Amino acid sequence: MSAKKYVAFFFLAEFFGSAVAQTDGMLCEIVVTPSLWGDVLKGLPSAFVALIAVWIALHQYLVAKAKLKFDLFEKRLAVFNIAQEYLPQVLNPGLTLSEINAFYRSIRVADFYFGKEIVEYLSEINQKAIQAYTIGLHLKANRDIMPPEDIKAHTELTQWVSDELQERLKHRFSKYLNFENWH
C-alpha cells in the first residue's frame, strides 16, 4: 500500500475509531474499532429526520385543532343566523305550526354546540313563537280583532322580540362566536 493511501486510511480510522496498523511484509492492514464520535455521527441523520417528523406532527395537530374550532364556529353561526331570522317571524300573525316545527328541528343540534344557557334561550324563543301562534289563532277566530285578554300578552311579546333583536340575541351568542376566546 502506498504511503498516501496509508495516511488517508489511518486518518479515517482515527476519526471513526482507533486504528491499529499491522504490517506483514508489504501488506498493511488497518483495523477500525468503534468510537463514540463515529456512533454519534452515524445517528445524526436519523435524529434529524425524527425532529422533522415531530415538527410536522405538531403542526398537523395545530392545524387540525384550528380546523375543528372553525368548523364548530360555522355550526354555531348557522344556529345564530337561524335564531336571528326567526325572531321577527314570531310576531307574524300568519305564523304556522310547520314554521314553528321547522325552527325547533333546526335548533335541536344546539345541545352539541352551546352551553345550557343558549339551549334554554332557544327553547324560550320557541315558547314565545307558540304563544304568538296562539294569539294569532284567537285573532283569526275573532275576525282579525284582537281579544282584550291577548292585548297585554301581545304587547309584552312585541317588546320582548324587539329587545332581543336589538341587543340581547347578539350578546347571548357572543361568548360562543367571539374569535378571541373560541370554545
Per-residue pLDDT at 18 exceeds 60: no
Residue 51 CA to its chain's centroid (Å) = 27
pLDDT score for 182: 59
Residues 23 and 102 in one domain: no
Q: How many domains does the chain have?
A: 2
Residues 28 and 72 in one domain: no
Rounded mean pLDDT of 16-22?
A: 48
Please report whether residue 76 resides in a domain. yes
Cα dihedral 36, 39, 43, 44, rounded to 10, equals: 50
Residues 86 and 155 in one domain: yes
- Which range marks the domain in which residue 121 is found? 68-181
Q: Of residues 21 and 47, which shows the higher confidence score?
A: 47
pLDDT score for 151: 76
Amino acid found at 61? Y
- Which of 16-30, 60-74, 148-162 bottoms out in mean pLDDT, i.e. has the lowest? 16-30
Q: pLDDT by residue (tens digit) across 114-158?
A: 999 999 999 999 998 988 888 887 877 777 777 778 778 888 888
Residues 155 and 84 in one domain: yes
pLDDT score for 84: 92
Rounded mean pLDDT of 55-59?
A: 96
Helix axes 97-107, 36-90, angle to 10 degrees: 160
Residues 8 and 93 in one domain: no
Whole-structure pTM value: 0.68
In angstroms, the CA 99 to CA 88 distance is: 12
* Percent of the chain topping pLDDT 70: 77
Is the distance from CB of 97 to CB of 175 less than 8 angstroms?
no
119-125, long-range: CB < 8 A, 24+ apart: 121/172, 122/79, 122/83, 125/83, 125/86, 125/87, 125/90, 125/164
Q: Of residues 1 and 145, which shows the higher confidence score?
A: 145
Q: pLDDT by residue (tens digit) across 27-44?
A: 555 555 566 667 777 778
Q: What kind and span of H or E run contains 23? A: strand 19-24
Please report whether residue 143 resides in a domain. yes
Please report whether residue 7 resides in a domain. yes
pLDDT score for 51: 94
Q: pLDDT by residue (tens digit) across 69-100?
A: 899 999 999 999 999 999 988 888 788 889 99
pLDDT score for 35: 67
pLDDT score for 20: 47
